[in-house]
Chains A and B, each alone.
Chain A
Amino acid sequence: NAGVTQTPKFQVLKTGQSMTLQCAQDMNHEYMSWYRQDPGMGLRLIHYSVGAGITDQGEVPNGYNVSRSTTEDFPLRLLSAAPSQTSVYFCASKRGSTGELFFGEGSRLTVL
């Protein structure tokens, strides 16, 4: 089972560039989310989705966009990258509103 798959694993951007982090899950989970993990801070929720066509903001949504056109995919778009967006990004999914999150392997982004 693939579970939650994230691409790319590593990316270096220049300030002002845009890019999309891809996330796909094969567990038929309704709920998908994006977190960022920074040293000395807990995982922080960026955006989440409770089903296809439905998205909402988390704790730190500024500078990021998401869409959910299918159950399987939940891409995260950086519109104009800034050094403050240097982080490790994790996609996670779960079935329904309860239950545990399943995480991807992470995408390490550096913005110069």
Chain B
Amino acid sequence: DTGVSQDPRHKITKRGQNVTFRCDPISEHNRLYWYRQTLGQGPEFLTYFQNEAQLEKSRLLSDRFSAERPKGSFSTLEIQRTEQGDSAMYLCASSLGETATNEKLFFGSGTQLSVL
């Protein structure tokens, strides 16, 4: 069990550029989540996948954000036309996704995005 891995760890970009992050969940986990964490705050839910299906998106996820999980394994989160307000830590988490009583989320180390 190698845990949830995210790449890159840090990304610095200029306003207006597109960025893409990758998340590899724990191998047997069916659910994959994206959260965003800004300085001094707790993580906020963005979206989640059950296998390859994206089942819910938060209203925090504007049209500039898109997430995919094409084969039900790794996921990518793309932000188009980045804005300074997008600067945050983007956290990925995964879980077994079998029952609510067993729903323990395991988080990766995150991708820290800085938009200049």
User: Is B a genuine binding partner of A?
Assistant: no
**A interface residues with partner B (beta carbon < 8 Å):** none
